């Protein structure tokens, strides 16, 4: 079975590599210290600090596994010099024709998506519909809530 390739920006790759390094070099050591201190307090069956530290250790190891799998299949999308079309890594300003409002977001790979910070996935309905289109074009986007029209106002690299 072939693993899914994780498309991402150079910044996204570097952020995940940095997080992985911090988890392995700092967080593992810190949690090991917490577990050691909790063990020294005696009876582990009634030691809430020990249980909490073991839970935190499990979460850290799970995140390390997740990051390693993402990075193992990472494909960095490099911006094409001189391209005027929407692509991964571009910041796009659009006009929602139906809602009569402007929106701005950065188009990123699905592993980097963070809608609360204005980063949308290239696999989302809006992201996938915009890829390859240029300033001035209107794109129709089909979602579970219906069909929407968006006009591309600006593309920044």
pLDDT digits (tens, 9 = 90+) for 94-140: 999 989 999 999 999 999 999 899 999 999 999 999 999 999 999 99
Here the tokens at position 91 are: 């910041």
Q: What topology is assigned to 6-76 in CATH?
A: Helix Hairpins (1.10.287)
Are 13 and 78 spatial neighbours (Cβ–Cβ below 8 Å)? no
Q: Which residues, given as ranges, of the chain have pLDDT below 50?
A: none
**Alpha-carbon distances of 39 from 56, 103, 155, rounded to whole Å:** 15, 52, 56
In which residue ranges of the chain is CATH 3.10.50.30 found?
91-156
Predicted pLDDT at 81: 57
Domain 91-156 has CATH 3.30.365.10: no
Predicted pLDDT at 68: 96
Are 110 and 131 spatial neighbours (Cβ–Cβ below 8 Å)? no
Are 35 and 54 spatial neighbours (Cβ–Cβ below 8 Å)? yes
This model's pTM is above 0.85: no
For strands 91-96 and 146-156, give the pairing. Answer: antiparallel
Residues 8 and 100: their CA atoms lie apart, in Å, by: 31
**Residue 30 Cα to chain centre, angstroms:** 26
In which residue ranges of the chain is CATH 1.10.287.180 found?
6-76
């Amino acid at each position: 079975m072939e693993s899914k390739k994780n498309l991402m920006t150079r910044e996204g790759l570097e952020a995940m590599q940095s997080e992985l390094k911090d988890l392995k070099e700092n967080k593992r050591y810190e949690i090991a210290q917490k577990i050691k201190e909790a063990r020294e307090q005696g009876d582990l069956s009634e030691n809430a600090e020990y249980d909490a530290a073991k839970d935190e250790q499990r979460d850290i190891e799970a995140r390390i596994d997740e990051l390693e799998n993402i990075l193992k299949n990472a494909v960095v999308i490099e911006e094409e010099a001189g391209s005027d079309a929407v692509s991964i890594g571009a910041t796009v300003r659009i006009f929602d024709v139906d809602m009569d409002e402007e929106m701005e977001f950065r188009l990123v790979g699905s592993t980097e998506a963070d809608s609360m910070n204005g980063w949308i996935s290239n696999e989302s309905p809006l992201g996938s519909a915009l890829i390859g289109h240029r300033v001035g074009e209107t794109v129709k986007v089909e979602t579970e809530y219906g069909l929407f029209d968006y006009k591309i106002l600006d593309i920044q690299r």
